[in-house]
């Protein structure tokens, strides 16, 4: 029996300590759904934008979390433009290639209409800034027969969280936001899917 390749999903999120729980939630939820999360972690060097665009173009879907576009706390205070910029790349790609589907996620109702009014008519998936909310909204974005339940995803998430110290130790780092750690988290989460989610 031929193995079906998991469809890649580009994950456009902030990489910082305060977002760690939701970062793990996205990896867990996408893995539970049978997708392969992809991210810009590990992309370096000149023409980084070209590499980001290529990564988006290689994915069937993209998720863009715009819940953290407000001013940061570190001087000089600036808004985060990376997430809207990458959303713009995905929107442009999807206009020429309709097989690519993009989704906007937010933590607050009606904020998107104020922060990016050009997206009027696009209904964001509101996750309320919670792990369970991310899982609920990923299920809403990717409705399919036999999809996992949120309680199943939460079990996967708790197991993944317990494995984080070992993953960090093995990678020789203290941050979750490195290419090696991202890859290890995705592998671990995919393994947890077979433990908690019925695939037939």
Contact present, 87 and 12 (Cβ < 8 Å): yes
**What's the token pair of residue 141?**
């974005």
Report pTM: 0.90
Q: Please state, in angstroms and rounded to a whole number, the distance separating the CA atoms of residues 183 and 35.
A: 14
Class of domain 8-196: alpha beta
Domain boundaries, the chain: 8-196
Whose structure tokens read 């941050």? Answer: 175
Q: Please state, in angstroms and rounded to a whole number, the distance separating the CA atoms of residues 10 and 40.
A: 8
Phi, psi of 161 (to 5 degrees): -60, -40
Q: Which residues touch 184 (CB under 8 Å, ≥6 apart)?
A: 167, 170, 171
Per-residue tens of pLDDT for the chain, all 200 residues = 334 468 999 999 999 899 999 999 999 999 999 999 999 987 766 678 888 999 999 999 999 999 876 656 666 655 667 888 899 999 999 999 999 999 999 988 776 666 666 566 678 899 999 999 999 999 999 998 889 999 999 999 999 999 999 999 999 999 999 999 999 999 999 999 999 987 66
């Amino acid at each position: 029996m031929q193995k079906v390749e998991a469809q890649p999903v580009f994950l456009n999120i902030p990489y910082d300590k305060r977002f760690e729980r939701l970062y793990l939630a996205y990896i867990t939820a996408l893995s539970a759904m049978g997708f392969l999360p992809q991210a810009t972690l590990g992309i370096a060097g000149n023409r980084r934008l070209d590499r980001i665009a290529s990564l988006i173009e290689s994915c069937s879907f993209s998720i863009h979390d715009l819940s953290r576009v407000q001013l940061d706390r570190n001087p000089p205070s600036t808004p985060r433009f990376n997430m809207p910029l990458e959303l713009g790349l995905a929107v442009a790609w999807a206009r020429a290639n309709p097989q690519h589907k993009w989704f906007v996620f937010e933590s607050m109702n009606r904020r998107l209409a104020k922060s990016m009014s050009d997206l009027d008519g696009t209904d964001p998936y509101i996750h309320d800034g919670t792990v369970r909310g991310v899982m609920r909204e990923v299920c809403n974005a990717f409705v399919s027969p036999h999809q996992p339940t949120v309680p199943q995803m939460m079990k996967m998430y708790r197991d993944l969280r317990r494995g984080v110290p070992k993953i960090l130790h093995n990678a020789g780092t203290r941050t979750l936001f490195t290419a090696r750690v991202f890859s290890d988290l995705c592998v671990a989460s995919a393994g947890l899917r077979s433990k908690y989610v019925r695939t037939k």
